[in-house]
Amino acid sequence: MKSIKRALAGGLAIGGLLMAGGAYAVDVKDSPGGPAVNELNFQPPVTHIAQELYDLHTAMLLICLVIFVGVFGVMFYSIFAHRKSKGYKAANFHESTTVEILWTAVPLLIVIAMAVPATRSVVAMKDTANADLTVKVTGYQWKWGYDYIKGPGEGISFISSLSTPRAEIDGRAPITDTYLQEVDHPLVVPVGKKIRIITTAADVVHSWYVPAFGVKQDAIPGFVRDTWFKAEQVGTFRGFCTELCGKEHAFMPVVVDVLSEGDYAAWVKTTQSAALAAGAATAAHTGDYSHAELIANGQKVYMSNCVACHQANGKGVGPFPALDGDHIVNGPVSDNINIVLHGKGQMPAWGTDLSDLEIASVVTYIRNSWGNHTGQTVQPGVVGAARDGKTLPGGQKQAASPAPVESSKVAS
C-alpha cells in the first residue's frame, strides 16, 4: 500500500510538470474569425453551438490529460523506484477479480460521461427548425454559390469567388493577412438570427466550414443537407472548404459578414435594387450589344471566374491550357461556346452558373484579347441558341442543356 501511495504521488508530480509545460498552448491572442496568431486552440466562438464545442473539447482534453498523467505517472514512477539495481524483484501473482471489475467499470463510466454532453451537442447542431433566414449554399470547382430562399433577402443570388490577387498567389507580390481568405462577394447575414444553411454541390464533394460558428457541413452532388448557426456578434468570419475537391481546393474560402439588423436591411434593399436595375436594363436592351460593351463586361466576368485557372494574361497554369493562341479560342465560335457552356475535363460547366450575356461577353473577350484577334462579337442570343440545341455560326449543332441560372453579376 505504501508503494502504491508513493507511485501515485510521483505520478501526480510528473503530471504537474507536464501540465505546467503545456499551459501556454491555450493562450490565444486573436480577433474572432480573423487571421490566427500562433493559435493552438479553436477560434474564439461566436455562436452558442461553437461555445458548447469549445467547452466540450476543453473538458475532454482535460479528462484525457488526467488519464495520461495517472497511467503514465504510476508506470514511470514504478519503473524508476522499483528497478532491479535497487534490489527489487518481480512479484508473482495471479488475476484479481476486483481489479478486473474496476478497469472495466471506470473506463465505461468515463466514456458515458463524455458521450452524454457530446450527444446533446450533436442533436442541437441538427435542429434547423424555426430559422429566420434560409440560404442555399452550392459548392462549385472552385467557388461558392449563395441563394437566399426564405426570409429577409429572399431572391438574392450570387457567386462568391476568391479575390486574392494572382500576383500574391504566384509570389510576385507580398501576401497579406487575409491571403487566400478573401472573396469578392461574402455571405451576408443579420446578427442574432437563426440562419439555416442548405448545402449541395454541382460537381464534386465540397464542405462548407466556418470555425467560429462551429459549423461544418459537406456539400454533396445530388444530395441536400442542412445545418444552422446564430452569430452573437457583428464582424467578418472566415472559413474554407474542408474536402479535397480538386486542383484549386485551397482557393475556395468561406467569408461571412455578420451585420446589425439595420445594416442588413439596408444591404438587402441595396442588393435587390441593383438586381432589379440590372434586369430592367437588360430587358430594355432590344438590340445587340456593341463590341466594346461585350469586351468590357467580358473582362469583368473573366477576372471573377476564369483568372484563377487561366491567369490574367491568358497563359494558363498547370493542367489548364493557355487561352492566348489556343486553337479552340481562335477556331469556330460554336466550339468555344460549347466548352464554356458544358465544360471539359477539369473545367466546370459554366452554363448553370453564368447568364447568356455573361458567357457571350467572356467569349467575346477571350477571342479578342492578348494575341487573339478574331475580331468576332458573340451576342447573348447566340448563346441562348446553343442552350436550346440550335445550329450556331460555323454550322455545328449544340446539345441542349438545362435552362440558365441567371447570375447577379450582369452588366448594366
Pair (109, 149) in one structural domain: no
Domain final position from 256, 277, 298: 277
Does residue 406 fall inside a structural domain? Answer: no
Q: Is-contact 258 235, C-beta < 8 A?
A: yes
Give me the domain span that covers residue 264: 133-277
Residues 268 and 297 occupy one common structural domain? no
Q: In this structure, is residue 58 part of a structural domain?
A: yes
Same domain, 340 and 319: yes
Residues 56 and 172 in one domain: no
First to last CA, the chain: 86
What region, left, alpha or beta, does residue 235 occupy, with left being phi > 0 and alpha being psi -120 to 50 degrees?
left
Q: Which residue among 100, 125, 150 closes a domain?
A: 125
Residues 48 and 71 in one domain: yes
CB 217 within 8 A of CB 207: yes
User: How far is 27 from 23, CA to CA, in rounded Å?
Assistant: 8
**Same domain, yes or no, for 170 and 222?**
yes
Residue 400 belongs to a domain: no
Please give the share of the chain, as a percent, with pLDDT higher than 70. 83
**pLDDT in the model for residue 209:** 94
Q: What is the pLDDT of residue 403?
A: 33
* 87-115: pLDDT as tens digits: 888 878 777 888 889 989 999 999 998 89
Same domain, 265 and 307: no
Does residue 27 share a domain with residue 120?
yes
Does residue 30 sit in the same domain as residue 57? yes
Domain end call among 224, 252, 277: 277
In 23-161, beta strands by DSSP E = 133-140, 143-150, 157-160
- The angle, 0 to 180 degrees and rounded to 10, between the axes of the packed helices 356-366 and 333-342 is 130
For residue 219, what is the enclosing H or E element?
Answer: strand 215-219
- All three cell numbers of 315, joined, read 497563359
391 φ/ψ sector (left φ>0, alpha ψ -120 to 50, else beta): beta
Spans in the chain with pLDDT lower than 50: 1-5, 7-36, 393-412
**Residues 214 and 341 occupy one common structural domain:** no
Q: Is residue 396 part of a domain?
A: no
Distance of CA 23 to the CA centre of its chain: 31
Reported in sequence order, the residue ranges of 132-213 that DSSP labels E, i.e. its strands, are 133-140, 143-150, 157-160, 187-190, 195-201, 206-210
* Predicted pLDDT of residue 24: 31
Are residues 267 and 314 located together in one domain of the fold? no
Domain count, the chain: 3
Per-chain mean pLDDT for the chain: 81
273 and 138 both lie in a single domain: yes
Distances (CA, A) of 160 to 224, 250, 362, 409: 20, 14, 18, 11
